[in-house]
Amino acid sequence: MSAENMEYLTIALPKGKVFTKAVDLFSKIGYTAEGLSDKSRKLIIVNEEKKIRFIITKTADVPVYVEYGAADIGIIGKDVLLESAKDVYELLDLNIAKCHLMMAVPKKLKRLRLIDYANTRVATKFPHIAASFFNSRGMQMEYIKLHGSIELGPIVGLSESIVDIVETGTTLRENDLEEYAFIADATARLIANRVSFKLKFSRINQMTEELRQVINK
């Protein structure tokens, strides 16, 4: 075994929607570990034979663990990655957890043009993404950071619009909102720490290529 392969490869997985899909994907390339389940309260799960260590973190924290090198690689939605603005390598679009970022507004109060929303309030979990979208269109906005149930914002008069992810569209429909502008695709990505990518290059590169073979295009 080479020196590189003697070391653990630490993989950060986010709790929540992406977890099971990420675990399925890794199991297809033989990266598994006993007890790797989102029901478990264990935060580190090790496969001694393969020298792999999975760490299970809150979604928004995956890029933090990877940027600081506490995890060599991680899986994270592009939405969270963009918002975090962390200095990590994005290696692969895993094409799981398909969703996109968009601006939505109440159907009944829909304004004619995007510019008609200038200087209004936007409720969002993603203020940086929202600001970059509106700034690039020369629009000044007021951003109201929420932590969930973003769709409630315009319904109760907190904001005129939202910037959020949409997956099936059910939440928008059930709350009489309508997608108004597409912002970006937000599938899950494989990311790597910059130093780990160099020091553990052959393992990370091989794993990336194996994942590339099994992802659904």
Binding positions for ligand PRP, rule: CB under 6 A: 148-151, 164-171
Q: How far is CA 191 from CA 102, 111, 161, 208, in A?
A: 23, 39, 31, 10
CB of 133 or CB of 197, closer to ligand PRP: 133
The smaller minimum CB distance to ligand PRP, of residues 17 and 28, is found at: 17
d(CA 196, CA 139): 40
CB of 99 to ligand PRP, least distance (A): 7
For residue 187, give Cα distances in angstroms to 21, 92, 109, 198, 211: 12, 10, 30, 25, 15
Comparing every residue's Cβ against ligand PRP, the nearest one is: 148
**β-bridge pairing 9-14 and 73-77:** parallel
Other C-beta atoms lying within 10 Å of the C-beta of residue 91: 18
Q: How far is the CB of 204 from ligand PRP (least distance, A)?
A: 29
Could you tell me which of 84, 89, 75 has the C-alpha nearest to residue 26? 75
| Residue nearer to ligand PRP on the CB measure, 22 or 150 | 150
Decide if 111 contacts 161 (C-beta within 8 A).
no
- Which residue, 167 or 185, is less far from ligand PRP as judged by CB? 167
Q: How far is the CB of 31 from ligand PRP (least distance, A)?
A: 26
Least distance from ligand PRP to the Cβ atom of residue 27, Å: 24
**Of 56 and 99, which has the nearer Cβ to ligand PRP?**
99
What SS3 class is residue 183?
A: strand
| Closest by CA position to 141, among listed 116, 119, 115 | 119
Residue 119 CB, nearest distance to ligand PRP (Å)? 24
> What is the spatial order of strands in the sheet that 89-93 belongs to?
44-47, 52-57, 9-14, 73-77, 188-192, 89-93
Comparison of 9 and 97: residue with beta carbon closer to ligand PRP: 97
**Considering beta carbons, is residue 23 or 172 the nearer one to ligand PRP?**
172
CB of 90 to ligand PRP, least distance (A): 21
Find the shortest distance in angstroms from Cβ 194 to ligand PRP: 29
